[in-house]
């Protein structure tokens, strides 16, 4: 797989989660950190919006965190560094080595050709495909290995989600293209 082949593959969002502290006083955090909101009636965690890189962090009193809006590894590292620095500034002791891992990647890709979704459903006739055009204009294809969910649209545009890294996404794309070659 050459990178040239997948040049239209674009990371839209990365979600990462893990533990950054043994416990966090969310009231203290939200009072001392700018752009950090706490509304326990609506959500059990604090929402910390970072401007650069543009990331939203959901921070919980257990010390767990979920980061979303990430576009690449550098943004993840930079965003995490900002969060850790903010914890320290608020008087909250972070873990020496926060344990954060990517839990989901959402990527877009353009196959560059119009696709007959009805033909895919009829030809493949597999249980891991859902297509109800009255409900949703895309076909949902669940790949088992790697565990990737692909949304295929008749325009040739696709969304891939569920990968933990870009290699998973590219392997899922290869599986999809191999299946489509038997039809088109």
pTM over 0.85: yes
Q: pLDDT value at position 183?
A: 76
* Domain regions of the chain by residue span: 14-102, 111-181
Q: pLDDT value at position 123?
A: 83
CB-based contacts of 105: which residues, under 8 Å, 6+ apart? Answer: 11, 13, 14, 15, 160, 161, 162, 163, 164, 165, 166, 168, 169
Half-sphere exposure at residue 159, Cβ-oriented, CA atoms within 13 angstroms: 13
Give the residue among 78, 61, 58, 62 at the shortest CA–CA distance from 15: 58
CATH number of 111-181: 3.30.310.10
Q: What is the DSSP-derived secondary structure letter of residue 106?
A: E
Q: pLDDT value at position 27?
A: 95
Identify the segments of the chain with pLDDT beneath 50.
1-2
Q: pLDDT value at position 5?
A: 73
Per residue in 43-73, pLDDT tens?
Answer: 999 999 999 999 999 999 999 999 999 999 9
On whether the 14-102 domain is CATH 3.30.310.10, my answer is yes
Q: pLDDT value at position 128?
A: 86
Residue 18: which H helix or E strand, with range? strand 10-21
């Amino acid at each position: 797989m050459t990178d040239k082949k997948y040049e239209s593959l674009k990371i839209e969002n990365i979600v990462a989660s893990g533990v950054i502290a043994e416990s966090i006083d969310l009231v203290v955090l939200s009072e001392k950190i700018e752009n950090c909101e706490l509304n326990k009636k609506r959500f059990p965690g604090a929402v910390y919006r970072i401007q650069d890189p543009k990331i939203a962090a959901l921070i919980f009193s257990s010390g767990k965190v979920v980061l979303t809006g990430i576009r690449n590894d550098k943004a993840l590292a930079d965003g995490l560094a900002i969060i850790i620095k903010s914890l320290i500034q608020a008087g909250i002791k972070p873990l020496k080595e926060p344990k954060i891992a990517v839990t989901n990647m959402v990527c877009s890709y353009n196959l560059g050709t119009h696709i007959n979704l009805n033909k895919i459903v009829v030809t493949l006739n597999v249980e891991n495909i859902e297509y109800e055009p009255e409900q949703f204009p895309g076909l949902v294809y669940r790949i088992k290995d790697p565990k990737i969910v692909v949304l295929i649209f008749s325009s040739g545009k696709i969304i891939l989600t569920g990968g933990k890294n870009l290699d998973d996404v590219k392997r899922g794309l290869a599986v999809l293209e191999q299946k489509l070659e038997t039809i088109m």
